[in-house]
Amino acid sequence: MRLDKQKHCPYENPPVSIIASSNHKPLHDPLTSHVPPTCTSHTTAASHAHSIHHKQAYYSSMINPSASGVQTSSYCSCSVRSDPLTCPIIPGCINIIDICKGHAGLGLTIVGGCNTILGVILIHEVNEGGAAHRDGRLMAGDHILEVNGIDLRMASHEEALSVLRLTPQHVRLCVYRHMSTHTFNNQAHHHEDMWELFPVDLQVRPGQELGLSIVGKRNDTGIFVTEIRQGGAAESDGRLSLGDQILSVNGEDTRAVTQDYAHTLLQNCSGSVLLEIARFRATPHYSYECQCLV
């Protein structure tokens, strides 16, 4: 049985905030609408565009402004302050914010992409100590639509990571916050409410591998699935997804173990392998895939 372990995703970058003005446009659909002229920066870069017309209907129903209270008839009536370094993020609007990374990374974990069921790039977590955390404006569930003028609406997960990893010290983000994300993050939910917990009993046949690649967070604990290989027990079972956290293996708690220890533990498994899994859900609308620290 072969189990690959991967290095930490080396994506680091800083945070930001916003209020409605020229920096805030009401959004009809974060997936199908074009970026307004204000969402471009002085940086010129080629846009990553992938055709996902066969998924558009599904994504549009998943993020439906009319059903979620997004204002589409007029601009949000907010303060005229428009400095992208200080303006707050307005739910239901396209927002432009600037972040100066300094010596730290952005400190974001992202999920999704056009090559996942989610279809869009979303913030999974704002990590403590990163620029985004210090800035205080971004939160889990925010859509990243553009980075320094590069359109990520139809970018794959890997393309989004490549763009974010190559950002200069000054980063301009075009982001969208769903109304339900704003409501969810401002309610007193327990941490457990943000995760779906379930067991997965994998049957590893003789000569078959578990078929998983895992990674640990850079400055935090947790073991996460980063690849499900074809032909392995995990792929045959079909219940695991990229980004799932492995909480335990055959009853042994893995929430605070190192990546090397978890790799060895999983590599020595055979026969029946019972995994306890946690799957992040920032809002009731989303099931995230492909998370990676940026």
Do residues 288 and 141 touch, judged by C-beta distance below 8 A? Answer: no
Q: CA separation (Å) from 54 to 13, 50, 77, 114?
A: 33, 11, 36, 11
The pLDDT tens digits for 151-204 are: 999 999 889 988 988 888 899 999 998 775 544 454 444 445 567 899 999 999
Q: Where exactly are the structural domains of the chain?
A: 24-186, 190-280
DSSP, residue by residue, 169-192:
SEEEEEEE--HHHHHHHTS---GG
Q: How does residue 96 score in pLDDT terms, banded at 50, 70 and 90?
A: very high
Residue 63 scores a pLDDT above 80: no
Percent of the chain predicted with pLDDT > 90: 26
Residues 149 and 47: their CA atoms lie apart, in Å, by 8
Architecture of domain 24-186: Roll (2.30)
Taking only the tens place, the pLDDT of each residue in 243-291 is 788 999 999 999 888 888 999 999 888 899 999 998 866 443 443 344 4
What 3-state DSSP class applies to 138? coil
CATH no. of 190-280: 2.30.42.10
Other C-beta atoms lying within 10 Å of the C-beta of residue 87? 26
- 191 in Cβ contact with 197 (< 8 Å): no
Which one, of 166, 120, 127, 128, lies nearest residue 144 by Cα? 120
Put simply, whether the predicted model's pTM sits higher than 0.85 gets the answer no
Same fold, 24-186 and 190-280: yes
